[in-house]
Amino acid sequence: MDKRSRARLKRLPHRGRYDEAALHEVLDAGFLAHMGFLVDHHPFVIPTLYGRQNNALFLHGSAASRMVRALAVGVPVCATVTLVDGLVLARSAFNHSMNYRSAVVFGTAHLLEGEDKLSGLKVISEHLVAGRWQDVRPPSRKELKATSVLRMTIEEASVKVRQGPVLDDEADYSLPYWAGVVPLKINWSKPIGDSRLKPETPLPAYLKSFVEISANDAERSEERNR
């Protein structure tokens, strides 16, 4: 990633990271991206689930959706993914902050068809819950026709990270106000079976692992706040 690109950080540049490893770490930990684009000179920001494979993001939606129709013609797009790890409460109002990891990605999306379209849906599914794609009914022709899948090649990107304790002005450390970090842990809870699930249907092993991995990720998130 080129530090001279439009993704280069201007404010607090010391928090910026431009290597692919840092970018992939944030993208792989997240699952919800906000896609920013222009339609007839009007800005839109649409939240959507995504999947990552190599240097590309895969997106899907109804063939009739505004986002899909706009991105399918090749307009420039900016995708952001943000993971909040905690609130940083300082002794002064000015020095309050957050511990977070965020990625800003620029690129152009292209519509996928045929086997590429099906592969794109698999990437999204496996990004969300690894192992799920092989454990469900595949899309029918009618469902595939109603769904569009986009591949957004990552052209430029940056990562910004804030970790650690309160950073107060030296003169404020003697003030009698509580200061510290309030960690935020996001993790998936125990799965709840559908009311019409057949009694003999077991909870898949990959789903058990998914919940356990989520709990471990939440613990690592708390450690980052310390």
Domain boundaries, the chain: 13-184
- The mean predicted confidence, pLDDT, of the chain is 90
Task: Write out pLDDT tens, residues 116-155.
Answer: 999 999 999 999 999 999 999 999 999 999 999 999 999 9
Instruction: Enumerate the β-bridge partners of residue 97.
Output: 88
pLDDT at position 186 is: 84
pLDDT at position 15 is: 76
Backbone φ/ψ region at 114: left (φ over 0), alpha (ψ -120 to 50), beta: left
pLDDT lower than 50: segments of the chain: 1, 3
User: What element of type H or E holds 145?
Assistant: helix 141-146
Contact indicator for 162, 97 with CB cutoff of 8 Å: yes
Q: Domain spanning 13-184: which CATH class is it, in words? A: mainly beta
Encoded amino acid at 134, one letter: Q
User: What element of type H or E holds 36?
Assistant: strand 32-39
